[in-house]
A and B are shown apart, each in its own frame.
Chain A
Amino acid sequence: MSIATPKYLSQSLAMKYFFVAVVLFGAQLVMGLIAAYQFVNPEFLFNVFNFSTARMVHINALVVWMLYAMIGSAYWMLPEETGIETVGIKLGTLGFYILTLAVTIVVGVYILVQVGPGTEASIWLINEGREYLEAPRWADIGITVVVLIFVYNVFATVMKGKRTGITTVLMADLIALAGLYLAGMFYTSNITMDQFWWWWVIHLWVEATWEVFVGVLIAYGLIKVMHANRQIVEMWLWIEVTMLFGSGILGMGHHYFWIGTPEYWWEIGALFSALEPVPLVGMLVHVIYDMGKHNGKVNNGPAFSWFIVNAFGNFLGAGVWGFMHTLPQINIYTHGSQFTAGHGHLAFYGAYATILIGMMYVAIQRRNGIEEMRSTATSKWAVSLITIGVLGMTVALTLSGYVQAFVERAEYGATWDGYFIAQGATWFTQGIDWRLAMGVVTFLGFLLLVKDLLTIAKRSKALAN
């Protein structure tokens, strides 16, 4: 069976989405470095480019590059799974340009205008000021329109082409994912109500719909990269969907402990979120299983490494780090501390960044018809440095978070004074310094990644000849 695929327009579009995703990933890291440096030297760009601006662009670029890479992955897989060109691909391509223009304008406004007066107009035009969902309302509407085009592409193609378990799950999941975004698009003066619905978007994305999307990518990856048996892979996929949604949907309770919502969320949140690591263990084992069954024979070295880092990273970042602070008894001490930031980094990286980068390698290989794409030294350095960097940042932040729980929360009761006493504690500042150092390591790894993504196809072809 040859790797080479016909030149589907859908896959050309996927490459465009991947390209912008990598650019935004770079922007994310630069902003992260600025924010991390401001922790160490608070006078840096003070009143010029404040921490809040750097952080906003950091996490917004994160969400947007991941959505880009997810959309790209879907456009990539569609023709291969369904056997036909994506329906309405011209419209889809137009959507890409509109979306990219909108994202450019939004980021420009974030960086140049930064904040506005306290009026509805600011929320419509500048930023909405709600973590991860800062995009101003006009952009929300634009994003929704483009995403609707995308969902239409997927839906129409799946209906017309060959139907597989993978495409069925993909389609249902994308509809849920897009629909949830609407829960974040209204204004209320009631901060409890605001946060209640905000978590519908954030939690039900990262701990339900995005995770299922990852399940789809793993299934596709195992079939394409390791020639795993589709029947078994798809059965696993359905079992994973069952476990992910069965635990993740009500696991949302772990965000409703302290925001003004009733006490019964303590029990519901504890029970269901404690179950959330189970599917992650399942996904890890799934990969070990197929690897063992196929004696680790793969046709795409770098993609395979990223898939492995994904299996472990998802398990560690979401599973282990998530479980450590998810019981209400302990969450009252860690809620909103650097501990949360540690978990956030490893989970987003381990569960999503890794597999999406893996998909980019899959796309590069197949686009160029490379039968067997081996890891280069650069690929290996890239995956190692980025992984060590993020893991290092996570450990450092966990240390800082521990000090915060201990000093600020247990000892001083989370007052203004207590907060700064903890921020000044030696071990806390050590953690913050190491986070910066490890951030630099991450960034170096990223530079190598870009180099590798740009050159690996040429090298592999040269090797084959």
Chain B
Amino acid sequence: MSEDYKEPESVWTSNRFWSRSAGWVTGFSAVLLILLTMDTLGQITMGSAEDLANKVTKRVPSASVINYKVTYEYSAVRGHEVPVIGEKELFFGRNDYSEAEANALLEKGKLTSQAKNCMNCHTLLGNGAYYAPDLTKAWLDPAWQAGGVMQGMTGTTSTDEAMLVFLQNPDKYASHARRMPNLGITPEEAKGLVAFLKQMSSIDTNGFPRNFNKIQGSTQK
């Protein structure tokens, strides 16, 4: 009890020694975390339209990536799949979105994803809820590609159009008993969401999800 507290002679049994150790260890860890954070922030800041045009690889590409084709390919150097940004590709009939236009679409999509609470059913980058499929690489999912079920079901001929139709009426285009509900998503919001999903699929996630597309035999040797 503190009443009969006596100043200890040995450092080991002195609380002062241990409280100082706690302070130093915590301080040291915190400083290290801050230094690492500064480095990481530099690496995860979004790239620019110029980076894309000049084929500069960024971990998180600019929203302008919607103007390009994205694939997920096995890299022997990295030892896992990485997103690859290819030639220009039409996105809702255009491939000349300015960076500002692309950013506006992405912002609409990201805001909608929060307002509609996608993360309390799905995972994004593997974080969120486990009631519905991970959306990290949804844009690249075989079901959305030509020959997949979704284009046929929605009567469209491209991934972007198929997603646009699905997101507005997901309960009508269900492929499993566990359906996605109608969240009142407008055409404008849906378009933003598709841009958001496409941009997310171009983020370098160190090979997560692994083996994606393995069924198609296209990505892993």
Question: Hey, which bits of chain A sit against chain B, CB under 8 A?
Answer: 35, 38-39, 42, 46-47, 50-53, 55-56, 114-120, 122-123, 126-131, 134, 162, 164-165, 168, 187-196, 198, 229-231, 234-235, 238-239, 241-242, 245-246, 249-250, 252, 255-266, 268, 332-333, 335-338, 340-341, 409-420, 423
Contact = CB atoms under 8 A, between A and B. Distances in A.
B212 interface: yes
15 contacts: A47-B182, A117-B112, A118-B185, A118-B186, A118-B189, A123-B111, A130-B114, A193-B60, A195-B125, A238-B15, A241-B26, A242-B26, A257-B208, A335-B126, A417-B142
B117 A189 contact: no
A39 B121 CA distance: 11
Contacts of A235: 13, 15, 18
B40 A129 contact: no
A425 B208 CA distance: 23
Given A131-B119, A260-B204, A414-B134, A195 B127 contact: yes
A95 B177 CA distance: 46
Best-buried of B5, B119, B184 by chain A (most CB within 10 Å): B119
A379 B138 CA distance: 49
A213 to B, nearest CB: 14
Contacts of A35: 131
Question: SS class of chain A's interface: helix, strand, loop or mixed?
Answer: helix
Contacts of A42: 177-179
Contact of A409 (B107, B118, B209): B209
Contacts of B95: none
Nearest to B81: A413
Contact of B211 (A46, A230, A413): A413
Contacts of B36: 264, 268
A231 B131 contact: no
Contacts of A168: 19
Contacts of B63: 189
Interface stretch (B27-35, B48-56, B86-94, B152-160): B27-35
Interface in B71-124: 103, 106-121, 123-124
Contacts of A238: 15, 18-19, 21-22
B210 A414 contact: yes
B183 interface: yes
Q: What are the 10 closest A-B residue pairs judged by CB atoms, nearest first?
A: A118-B112, A129-B114, A413-B211, A414-B209, A258-B208, A238-B18, A336-B126, A122-B115, A52-B120, A249-B29
Contacts of B40: 196, 256, 261-262, 265
B146 interface: no
A336 B128 contact: yes
Interface residues of B, number: 88
A250 B114 CA distance: 28
Interface string B167-188: 0000100001111011111100
A418 B177 contact: no
Contacts of A259: 125-127, 205
Contacts of A258: 125-126, 205-208
Best-buried of B15, B103, B211 by chain A (most CB within 10 Å): B211
Given A118-B186, A192-B59, A260-B203, 15 more contacts: A55-B121, A116-B115, A190-B46, A191-B110, A193-B41, A194-B110, A238-B18, A242-B18, A245-B22, A255-B127, A256-B40, A258-B205, A260-B44, A336-B130, A416-B142
B60 A190 contact: yes
B38 interface: no
B214 interface: yes
Nearest to B105: A189
A125 to B, nearest CB: 10
B127 A123 contact: no
Contact of B129 (A47, A126, A131, A239): A131
Contacts of B124: 191, 195
Best-buried of A47, A120, A258 by chain B (most CB within 10 Å): A258
A56 B117 contact: yes
Contact of A417 (B110, B179, B215): B215
Best-buried of B5, B114, B121, B179 by chain A (most CB within 10 Å): B114
